Amino acid sequence: MSKTEKMELFDVPDTVSNPMLSFKNQKTKIVKEYVYVKFTIMDFSREIMVEILSRLTIKPIFRCKTVCKRWYNLLTSDPLFVKMYQTRSCKFPCILLSNDDSTASVLELKADYDYYSRSRNRPVMLSPEFHIPRHKDRFGYSFDRKKLELIGSCNGLICLWSGDRYDENYSIYISNPLLGEYFKVKLPEWEKGVCRVAYTLCYSEGSGQYKGLRSVIRKVRGRPEVSELEVCNLGVDEKWRNVGEAAFPARIHSFNLVTEEVKPVPVPPGLKTPSLGLRLAELGNCLCLTDSCSFQHVDIWWMKEYGIADSWTKDCILTNFYSARRHTELLSYNPKEKKFRKVKVYDGGYAATKYIPSFYSLKTVMGESFQISNAYPKAEIVLDI
């Protein structure tokens, strides 16, 4: 509600009846009238509303969806909002927590994050659990629906593994957890001689296309020696194409999303830790390799110049957190202060990964004709905000 001021002035004669009186003594009458103009936030244009709402974090956005139908449609299906939010979502650092009961939640690490309070650090709980169908193994037993493992996150989408890691009857799902959408990835038939398979989800900024990448380790003369890489263009075709081998003894390989070339990456000199004890990550726009095999410290190798073997530098981080070794707590490390902090959240997570929130529908990624399933009604996406 705004107001405009209207003033009415009664003229004062140029000559006064009593010359002895000054002008100040003359009676004047000033009348103010306020004309109220009704104006609310609902009168803002679509462009202005998108500009405002796209600056919010996840919790306020979900609250705004319940204000009115117009805001709900804008936040769920307006392409302008989706695109603008995507460009700004990198400013909202988030961690995706997934429990072993197939539920997921998003923890927003804001500037005012309280490391000592559980009640304030209440994550956005996505509800209900992912309704992934049960599958039967080769003996006819159904998989427990709770066996749903988070294996990767890319550009707002997550990759899920459903089933037993050591059984050939498993499924891979791609999901947008904020919208409750998911679809099952079509996989090639299991081949004899395969001893281990690993998957990841990739996004090519040049083509704007999501790709599925998998590593297939086959047995050669009874020993796993050959790791073949296969790629699938999601939403374009459902065929997995062989793009090359990740030959041993090289331990790190790169995959070019545009040319689909596979190349070895030099490892830190003198690295003797088995590959199972190592983890790759991106920290500070650098390729990093973490070695957590020791109970006293964690080693982090930084590749300061990508592809240059001599650019690897090593940081040794001391830690005495026994709970961290048991994977029961979430920790934050400040490299400048060289200090750990326990990240206390309202509800613990079984697994945690870096997550960039996105409101892009899987139908936009896969196409309108592609069959997309919904884990829950859109009006009930968030249980606990």
Residue 316 lies in a domain: no
Cα–Cα distance, 19 to 61 (Å, whole number): 70
Nearest in space to 303 (alpha carbons), one of 317, 316, 287:
287
Tokens (6 digits) for 254:
């790169």
- Contact status, residue 109 vs residue 94, Cβ threshold 8 Å: yes
Q: Are residues 188 and 83 part of one domain?
A: no
For residue range 281-292, list pLDDT tens digits in order: 888 788 998 887
- The DSSP code for 75 is H
Question: What is the DSSP-derived secondary structure letter of residue 31?
Answer: E
Question: Per the domain annotation, does 188 fall within a domain?
Answer: yes
- Quick check: is 235 in a domain? yes
* Residues 358 and 225 grouped into a single domain: yes
Q: What's the rounded Cα separation, in Å, for the pair 358 and 279?
A: 26
- Which residue, 53, 71, 92, sits at the end of a domain? 92
Q: Based on the fold, state whether residues 205 and 108 are members of the same structural domain.
A: yes
Looking at the structure, do residues 115 and 153 belong to the same domain, yes or no?
yes
Q: Domain of residue 359: give its range.
A: 93-269+349-384
Q: How high is the pLDDT of residue 48?
A: 92
Of the chain, the end-to-end C-alpha distance in Å amounts to 30
Give yes or no: residues 105 and 233 share one domain.
yes
Q: Does residue 83 lie within any of the structural domains?
A: yes
At residue 227, the pLDDT reads: 83
Given 51, 77, 92, the domain boundary residue is 92
Average pLDDT for runs of 10 along the chain of length 385: 46 49 50 65 88 88 88 88 86 73 69 54 50 47 58 86 77 85 86 82 85 85 74 86 80 87 87 77 85 78 89 78 59 76 63 83 77 58 38
Q: What is the reported pLDDT for 59?
A: 81
Q: Are residues 133 and 68 in the same domain?
A: no
Our count of domains for the chain comes to 2
Same domain? For 103 and 59 the reply is no
